[in-house]
Chains A and B, each alone.
Chain A
Amino acid sequence: MESLLVFNSLNILYEVFSLLLVALGLGIIFGLLRVMNMAHGEFISLGAFTAVSCQMAGLSYWVAFPATLVVCGSIGFLLERFLIRQLYNRPFDTLVATWGLSILLRKLLELGFGKGYQSLELPLSGSVSIWGTGYPAYRLLLMGFIVILVGGLTLWYNRSSAAMRVKAMIGNPELAESVGLNTQRLACLTFICGVCCAGLAGTLLAPLYSVYPAMGLDYLLRSFFILVIGGVGNLWGLFTGAAIIGGLQSGLAVLVNQTAGYFAVLIVAIIFLWRNPDGIFHRA
C-alpha cells in the first residue's frame, strides 16, 4: 500500500514537472514577448524528431541535445528574423500566422518522416529504488534535469543584467531603445531561447511518449492551458498551472480513467479562458 502511494505521488510529481517543461518555451515566447505562438507544439516536435534523426543516424541519444540546440536555434533565428519580427503588436495576425507556421512545420515533418509513429529507445533503462519502490531511472533523471533547467533560468532571469535588459524591453520598448538597448536583438534572442526550450522539452520527452508529426497540437493546448490557469510572466504561475493541470489529469487518470482526466483538463481550461484569462498569478 505504502509503495503504491509513493509510486503514485512520484508519478504525479513527474507529470507536473514534465508539463512545466512543456510550457516553459511558450512561457518565454508568450509570457515575455507576448507573441501568441501557435507553433509552440511544433517546436517541441522539432526537438523530438531531432532525437529520432540522431537515433536513425546511429548516434547516441545524448548527441540529440546539442543537435536540438543547433536546429531550434537556427530555425528560431530565421523565423524571428523573417516572420515574427513583422508581427509584434499585431496579436491577431500573430495567432493566424503562427497557426500557418504550425501547419507548415507539421507538413514538412510528415514529408520527411511520414505520418506514422516513431519509436525511440530509452537511453537509460532500469529503475531506482526509492523507499522500497522501484521507479524508472530515466524519469528521475528527467525530473532532475527539469529542476536544473528551470532553476537556472529563474536564477538567470532574476539576477543577470541581460535579463534586466529583457525586462526593460518588455516594460517599454521605445524607452529601452532610447537608452541604447538593441531591442531587436534582445527580442530575437528571447525568441530563440523560447524555441530552444521547447525543442529541449521535445528531445527529453521523446523517449517516453509517442513521436509523430501531429503530436504538437496537444502540447500546444496544454501549454496554453497552463499559462492561462497560472498566469503569464512568472514562474509561480507556470508551476501552479502545471500543478493544477498535471494533478487533475493524473489524479483522475488514477481514480477514473485517462479520458476522464483529459476531459477535466479541457473543461477547467475552457472555464479559465472564459472567466479569468489572466490566470491566478497575474502580473500587474
Chain B
Amino acid sequence: MVFFIARNLGLLAVLWTLPVLIGDYNTYQLGLYLLYAVAAVGVAVCWGQVGFLPLGQSVFFGLGAYISGWSLRAFGESWQVWPLLSLAVIVPALSAWLIGWLVFQGKKESGPYFSLITLALSMLAFQLATSWNSITGGFNGLSGIPEFGGLDSFGSLYYLIAFCLVLALAGSSWLLQAPLGTLWRAISQNEPRLVFLGYSTGTLKALAFGYSGALAGLGGMFYAPHQGLVTPDLCGFILAAELVVWTAVGGRKSLLGPVSGVVLVGLLTSELRDVFAYWEVLVALLFIGVVLYLPNGLSGIFKPLSGLKKTKISPEIAIPARSSVSANGGLSLLFDNVSSQIGTVHILNKLSFHIKTAGIYCMIGPNGAGKTSSFNVLSGELPLSDGTIQINGQPLKLAQHRLSALGISRKFQFPSIFPELTLREHLSIPLWSNQAKAHQYLDHRLHRWRSQVLSSLLIQFPFLSNQHNLASALSHGERQILELVMTLIAEPKLLLLDEPCAGLSPQETKHVIETIREITQENNLTVIIIEHDMQLVRELAEHLFVLHQGNLLAEGNVLEIQNNEQVKAVYAGGSKT
C-alpha cells in the first residue's frame, strides 16, 4: 500500500515538474497527449487484461468532449456546469457498458466481431456528429469553448490533466489488483473455464468496457476546454486507430505502457510528421513489428515481469463452509430420454438414467459412446434436442454460469486452467464463486480468504502451496490435479469428472482417488466419473453406467456389469443383439 501511494505520488511529482523544464508550448502539447493517454489506459485494460480489442474507443472520447464542450458553452463558469461535466464521464461509461452488455451477453468469446462492431460504431458516431447540426455544430464542430474553471489551457490546466492521468492509473492498478482484476485476467486466459466456475463473463466484460468508456470520456471532457474546439473527427476512426497503435507500441499488458506509447509515438508524430515525410510509415511498420514480435510492446522489453509482484500474504481470513452443502447432501439427477443431435448426427439417443443418492458413479463405454457428450448436454455445450434433464425434480434450463450456483462443478477431460494466473488466484476464483457479494469483488481482502476444504486440499497436494507460481509452469499431472482441486473448492453437490486421472503417475492417481473418496464421504457428494481405466473403476465406483451409441446399455455394480453379456459383446468388438 505504501509502495502503491509512493509510486503514484512520484509519478505525479515528475509530471508536475516537467513544465519547468520543457516550456509552455510543449507543456500544452504534452497536456493534449496525456488526455489521449487517459483513454489509452482504458484500451490497455480491455485489450491487455480482459482480452478484447475495442477498435472504436474514439466514440466515447468524442462523446465526452461533446458533452463537456456543450456544457461549458452553455453554462460557462456558473455552478450548473459541474453536474453537467460529470455527465461527460457518466454517459460514455454507461453507453460503453450497455454496448458491452448487449454484445457480450450469452457469448463465450470476445472474437474479432466485437472489434468490428466498435469500428462500425465509430463510423456511425462520426456520421451522427457530422449530420446532427443543431447539437454538434455539424462538420465545423463546437468552437469557442470557454476555459475550464478559469484554468488557462496553456498553463494551469496541465496540472489538473496530469493529476487526472495519475488518478486514472492509480484507479486502474487498484482495480486490477482487486478480485475483479483477477477475474478479468482469467477471462483473457480461459473464458469457458470461468463460466463453469459460476461467473457471468459477459457481465464482467461489460464492466471492463464501461470502465474504459469512463476513462475515454474523462479524456474527452478535458479535451474540450483544452483545445477550445470539438469536431466530428474526434469520434472517427483515425483517433480510434491511433489509440490502438499507441497502446500496442507502448505495451498493452502494463498500465504505464500505453502512457509511454502515447507520449513517445504521439508527441514524436506531431513533431516529426511535417519534417520527416516517412515518419508515419515508420510508425506503421513499428506497429506491425510489435504485433508480430513484441506482444507486450516496448515496455515488455524493459520489465518482463512487471505484473508479477510478489506481495506478502497477510493473515488469512477463514470463511465457513457453504451452508447449502452439508444440509441436504447430494442431489438427484435425472436424464429422461435425452437426445442430442447436430445436423444428421445423433450424439445421444434417448439416454435415460437416474441418480438419486450421493455416492461415486462411474460412466464407461467405448469411444464415441456419448460419455463426454452427456456431460456436455448437461452443461449446455451441446443442444438438448429431445427429452428432459432434471435436477432435484426441476427441469434444467439455465445459463451456463448458473450451473455452479446449483452445486454442479465440472472438470474437463483436458486440463482447463488459466496458464498465466498464479496458483493462489486459481484457488481463490472458485472460493469466491457464489460466496462473495458483488461489491466484495472490489475488496482486496478477498485474496486472503481460506476455507476448510481449501486448507485440507493444500495439505493433500503440497505443490499448491507455492502460491506465486504460474500455472503454466506445472506438469500435466499437476494441472489435472489443480483443475480437480478448483472444482472441489467450489464445494459442489454434483461433481462431473472427465477422466480425472489421465496422465497421472500411479502415485498421483492413488492420491487423487483417496481425495475424491474422502471428500465424497465427508460432504455427501454425488460424483460422476468418466473413466477408461477399469482398475480405477473397480476401486472407486459404487454404481456403473455403461453407455453405447448414445444410449444406456447397462447399469449396476461392478460385478453385475462384468457378468453382463451385452457389455461383454460390445467391449469385445461386437454390437448388442
Contacts and interface: CB of A to CB of B under 8 A. Distances in A.
Do A and B assemble together? yes
A148 B112 CA distance: 33
Contacts of A93: 291-292, 295
A269 B343 CA distance: 28
Given A92-B112, A103-B241, A107-B280, 11 more contacts: A87-B292, A92-B53, A101-B288, A221-B119, A224-B116, A228-B116, A263-B124, A266-B120, A267-B124, A270-B117, A274-B113
30 contacts: A36-B112, A83-B288, A86-B292, A91-B112, A92-B53, A92-B112, A93-B291, A93-B295, A95-B53, A95-B112, A97-B291, A97-B292, A99-B241, A99-B244, A100-B288, A101-B288, A104-B285, A104-B288, A107-B280, A228-B116, A259-B131, A266-B120, A266-B127, A269-B120, A270-B121, A270-B124, A273-B117, A273-B120, A274-B102, A274-B117
A228 to B, nearest CB: 8
B284 A103 contact: yes
Interface string A252-284: 000000010011001101100110010000001
Contact of A100 (B55, B120, B245, B343): B245
Interface string B537-572: 000000000000000000000000000000000000
B284 A100 contact: yes
A99 B120 CA distance: 14
A125 B420 CA distance: 63
A107 B281 contact: yes
A266 B112 CA distance: 17
Interface in B287-325: 287-288, 291-292, 295
Contacts of A269: 120
Given A96-B53, A263-B124, A266-B124, A273 B113 contact: yes
A101 B289 CA distance: 10
A95 B248 CA distance: 13
Interface string B79-114: 000000000000000000000001100000001110
A111 interface: yes
A175 interface: no
A217 interface: yes
Contacts, number: 83
Nearest to B51: A92
Interface of A: 36, 83, 86-87, 91-93, 95-97, 99-101, 103-104, 107-108, 110-111, 217, 221, 224-225, 228, 259, 262-263, 266-267, 269-270, 273-274, 277, 284
A263 B115 contact: no
A96 B245 CA distance: 9
Contacts of B285: 104
A274 B123 contact: no
Contact of B115 (A95, A107, A266, A267): A95
Contacts of A107: 280-281, 284
Contacts of A99: 55, 241, 244
Nearest to A87: B292
Nearest to B121: A270
A91 B111 CA distance: 8
B278 A111 contact: yes
Contact of A273 (B116, B245, B281, B295): B116
Nearest to A106: B284
A111 B281 contact: yes
A194 B395 CA distance: 50
A274 B103 contact: yes
* Residue of B53, B124, B295 most packed against chain A (CB within 10 A): B124
B103 to A, nearest CB: 5
B265 to A, nearest CB: 12
* A-B pairs with lowest CB-CB distance, top 6: A104-B284, A100-B288, A100-B287, A103-B284, A97-B291, A107-B280
A71 to B, nearest CB: 18
Nearest to A94: B112
A111 B278 CA distance: 8
B38 to A, nearest CB: 22
Contact of B237 (A97, A217, A270, A284): A217
Contacts of A91: 111-112
Nearest to B288: A100
A104 B103 CA distance: 30
B126 to A, nearest CB: 10
A103 B242 CA distance: 10
B277 interface: yes
Contacts of A270: 117, 120-121, 124
B373 to A, nearest CB: 19
Nearest to B114: A273
B138 to A, nearest CB: 12
A103 B112 contact: no
B248 A96 contact: yes
Interface in B254-302: 277-278, 280-281, 284-285, 287-288, 291-292, 295
Nearest to A266: B124
Nearest to A284: B343
Contacts of B292: 83, 86-87, 93, 97
Contact of B123 (A96, A221, A277): A221
A165 B112 CA distance: 28
A167 B182 CA distance: 42
Given A83-B288, A96-B244, A108 B281 contact: yes
B163 to A, nearest CB: 32
A274 B127 CA distance: 20
Contacts of B291: 93, 96-97, 100
B119 A97 contact: no
A93 B284 CA distance: 15
Contacts of A263: 124, 127
B122 to A, nearest CB: 10
Interface string B404-442: 000000000000000000000000000000000000000
Contacts of A101: 284, 288
Contact of A277 (B113, B124, B245, B287): B113
Contacts of B120: 221, 225, 266, 269-270, 273
Nearest to B103: A274
Nearest to A262: B127
Contacts of A228: 113, 116
A57 to B, nearest CB: 23
Contacts of A266: 120, 123-124, 127
* Residue of A87, A101, A270 most packed against chain B (CB within 10 A): A270
Contacts of A86: 292
